């Protein structure tokens, strides 16, 4: 009989802190450089550094450190994000890029609940993102509803419209259920294009966020320091990401997450143990769409414009590719994968035209050489400090 694994609590916090510090410094460097040859060199250097760390077996201590001290490292990750925002406090483009990464991560966290935990397929993620964005456009233009409540309504409406798919999704399996969501994504874009109330193909302008009279579209003046107006949205997006991350983590570790895992792994066995399959799949589908809708509502205000071409089936595939690349079921992996998928094509302007080819190549490479994703979901730990 093999010896039991040592308790995870024995892992040190230091490797995780070093990895987060190095990752933050590298991301600041990547976002700061502009010359294409330098950007290419920085990206190549990052790939070499990761491969070298894997060859020297330095990634295992980092993984153990995150497993044992996730809460502490999570606080450090928030501080790292604040440092990143303050470093680029005057740079509109970089702040918009970082906000896009954070809100896309929130959307993929919603997909993670559906795909990663409950095993419910959804290839219409961008459509629910668009429902949230169009909700903020219409409510901000025609009502006086406070904008924080508009975010919640955007999430609720995405979940409500998503409930129309529940019956066909629950009555089908595998690729048949995937076809249902694909059809919805195509119909949603067509509906937006032919609906003049929603702006048709030209789209709609979206009013910026206001909270208690504070206009988020005005630059922030702090004495002699001027901060980009995107810092307002940066703070809200970071708060939303932290709340969504904690929610997904708590959900995974609760008895609800345990039920979702059981349903995903073996529906027949789960039903034999008395689990209500439909109930938990509905819960996961609605909750996931709610998170996606909230992220979309805020992104509509950030971008100040919504149009059908921003919420196509191809955009839904990008969300799914992030999920596959990061590691289905692991929220930390989603952050890493979102940075790769969103930031790298933006920095490498020469491949902008070929970004969908890059996404396809990434997904094929991951499925071929690392099917569990860059950061696979660790085995569930049932008791604190117990071996996995």
Check residue 386 and give its pLDDT.
53
pLDDT score of 328: 83
In 3-state terms, what secondary structure has residue 100? Answer: helix
- pLDDT on residue 71: 85
- For the chain, the residue count is 388
Q: What is the DSSP string of 142-177?
A: H----HHHHHHHHHHHHHHHHGGGHHHHHT--HHHH
The residues with which 222 forms a beta bridge, in sequence order, are 225
Which pTM value belongs to this model? 0.90
The per-residue pLDDT for 1 is: 38
- Contact status, residue 341 vs residue 359, Cβ threshold 8 Å: yes
| Tokens (6 digits) for 253 | 């570790």
Q: What is the pLDDT along the chain (388 residues), one digit of tens a residue?
A: 344 444 455 678 888 899 999 999 999 999 998 888 888 899 889 889 988 888 888 888 888 888 788 888 899 999 999 999 999 988 999 999 999 999 999 999 999 999 889 888 889 999 999 999 999 999 998 999 999 999 999 999 999 999 888 888 777 776 788 888 899 999 999 999 998 888 888 889 999 888 888 888 888 887 788 889 999 999 999 999 999 999 999 998 888 888 898 888 888 888 888 888 888 989 999 999 999 999 999 999 999 899 999 899 889 988 998 988 888 888 888 999 999 889 988 887 766 667 677 777 777 877 777 777 777 777 766 555 554 4
CB-based contact 363:325 (threshold 8 Å): yes
**Contacting residues for 227 by C-beta, under 8 A, at least 6 apart:** 89, 90, 219, 220, 221
Nearest partner of 344 among 357, 331, 330, 358, judged by Cα: 358
Q: Beta strands 225-227 and 210-211: pairing type?
A: unpaired
pLDDT tens sequence across 193-237: 998 888 888 889 999 888 888 888 888 887 788 889 999 999 999
pLDDT recorded at residue 232: 92
């Amino acid at each position: 009989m093999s010896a039991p694994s040592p308790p995870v609590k024995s892992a040190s916090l230091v490797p995780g802190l070093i990895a987060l510090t190095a990752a933050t410094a590298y991301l600041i460097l990547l976002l700061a450089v502009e010359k294409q040859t330098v950007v290419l060199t920085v990206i190549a250097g990052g790939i070499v550094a990761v491969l070298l760390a894997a060859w020297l077996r330095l990634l295992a201590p980092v993984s153990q450190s995150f497993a044992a001290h996730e809460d502490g490292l999570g606080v450090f990750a928030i501080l790292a994000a604040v440092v990143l925002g303050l470093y680029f406090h005057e740079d509109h483009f970089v702040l918009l890029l970082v906000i896009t990464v954070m809100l896309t991560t929130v959307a993929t966290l919603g997909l993670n609940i559906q795909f990663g935990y409950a095993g419910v397929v959804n290839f219409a993620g961008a459509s629910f993102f668009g429902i949230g964005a169009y909700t903020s456009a219409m409510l901000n233009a025609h009502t006086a509803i406070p904008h924080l409540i508009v975010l919640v309504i955007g999430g609720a409406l995405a979940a409500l419209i998503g409930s129309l798919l529940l019956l066909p999704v629950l009555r089908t399996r595998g690729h048949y259920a995937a076809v249902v969501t694909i059809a919805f994504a195509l119909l949603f874009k067509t509906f937006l294009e032919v609906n003049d109330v929603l702006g048709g193909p030209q789209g709609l302008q979206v009013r910026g966020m206001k909270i208690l009279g504070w206009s988020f579209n005005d630059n922030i003046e702090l004495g002699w320091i001027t901060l980009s107006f995107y810092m307002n949205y940066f703070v809200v997006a970071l708060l939303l990401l932290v709340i969504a991350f904690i929610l997904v983590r708590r959900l995974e570790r609760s008895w609800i997450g345990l039920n979702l895992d059981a349903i995903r792994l073996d529906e027949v066995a789960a039903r034999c143990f008395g689990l209500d399959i439909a109930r938990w799949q509905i819960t996961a589908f609605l909750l996931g769409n709610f998170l996606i809708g909230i992220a979309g509502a805020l992104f509509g205000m950030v971008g100040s414009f919504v149009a059908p071409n921003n919420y196509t089936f191809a955009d839904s595939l990008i969300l799914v590719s992030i999920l596959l690349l990061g590691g289905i079921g692991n929220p930390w992996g989603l952050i890493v994968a979102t940075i790769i998928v969103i930031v790298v094509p933006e920095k490498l302007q020469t491949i902008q035209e070929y970004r969908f080819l890059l996404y396809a190549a990434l997904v094929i490479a991951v499925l071929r050489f690392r099917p569990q994703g860059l950061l696979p979901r660790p085995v569930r730990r049932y008791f604190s400090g117990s071996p996995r």
